[in-house]
Amino acid sequence: MPLSAIQPNCYNELLQQKVAALRPAFDALGAPDGTIYASPREGFRLRVEFRIWHEGDRMFYAMFRPGEPKIPLPVERFPIASQAIQALMPLLLSSLTGNERLRRKLFQVEFLSTLSGDMLVTLIYHKALDDAWLVDAHSLAKALGINLVGRSRKQKLVIGRDWVEENLQVGHHRYHYRQPEQAFTQPNGCVNQQMLAWAVTASSGLAGDLLELYCGIGNFTLPLASCFDRILATEVSKAATRAALVNLQENQIGNVAFARLSAEEMTQALNGVRPFRRLAKLPVPLSDYRLDTLLVDPPRAGLDSATLALAAHFPSIIYISCSPDTLLGNLTQLRTTHTIKRLAFFDQFPYTPHLECGVLLSRSSP
């Protein structure tokens, strides 16, 4: 995103334009009017990353225009980053610039913060990290009061923790999340809380058990546990699955089971194509679940044909999408079996063309 695109004074108008561009396509599918969930105008991104550019003794954060990877654009301030990241950026850069061991061959810096005030910084290098680097990195982390990870090829050195602790408020409930460095987390914490609240409202009155695909660290799983008898949640990432299990335990939720399976594998298991040993530890056999609702939050590619075919058999579907284009394509197919009952637009990425969408579908009467 070019910094020139950040126009807080025009935020409402820009958001309305994004939504207006999408409405006709949803109208054509018979969707109801969508609810719009706005973002804070500034300070909303909890995770950002910058290249580090070296020019002699000078070093600076850099971004690049598409197609121009060798022409750095210095970043002196980044108003869409969280206030904690904005405050840390100059302090970190000054500390790194003044330390030859920490600055040499430093390639990229990644910031991961939370609404709760936790912070993790990852430094990525084009060199091996030795004991001398580790000593200076410990001093840096202590001076700045941060958790720090150093990465190089086949190396990962952790000072403090390689995760952050987050607390999200959903209605009257507060949920605690461990968010690992390399697992996906929603970058806009305020909008994420709105998404979770919308999903809980959309689940009101739905019966039986929930099957959740692409559950990640349990972002939707935890607040939705109170809406269903049981939840069976699947995720393919090892780091995310480990965090999801920790989050389940720390929130003392007892009606959720996690399985490390891809959406394709879960579809095969439900269709009886083949058994999976990773399902053997479920608290009850897979056949005992009454899976009446499906929740999906897929990557930009959307749902594959097999998962779409599986979804067609569910009485209710909650679809969270980071790509309206693929969502609309999937809805065109699901429309043959389901009706769109709810629609929401979540502005996770202000000042860009991107919108997240939430859809509740109910199976149409024969």
Catalytic residues: 322, 356
| Helix or strand (DSSP H, E) at 15 | helix 11-28
b/e 83-118 (16+ beta carbons within 10 angstroms → b): ebbbebbeebbebbbeeeebbeebebbbbbbbbeeb
Say if residues 265 and 258 touch (Cβ distance below 8 Å): no
The rounded distance, in Å, linking the Cα atoms of 72 and 52 is 9
The rounded distance, in Å, linking the Cα atoms of 197 and 331 is 23
Q: 173: which residues sit within 8 A by CB, 6+ positions away?
A: 223, 226
Residue 160's region, left for phi above 0, alpha for psi from -120 to 50, else beta, is left
The rounded distance, in Å, linking the Cα atoms of 29 and 24 is 9
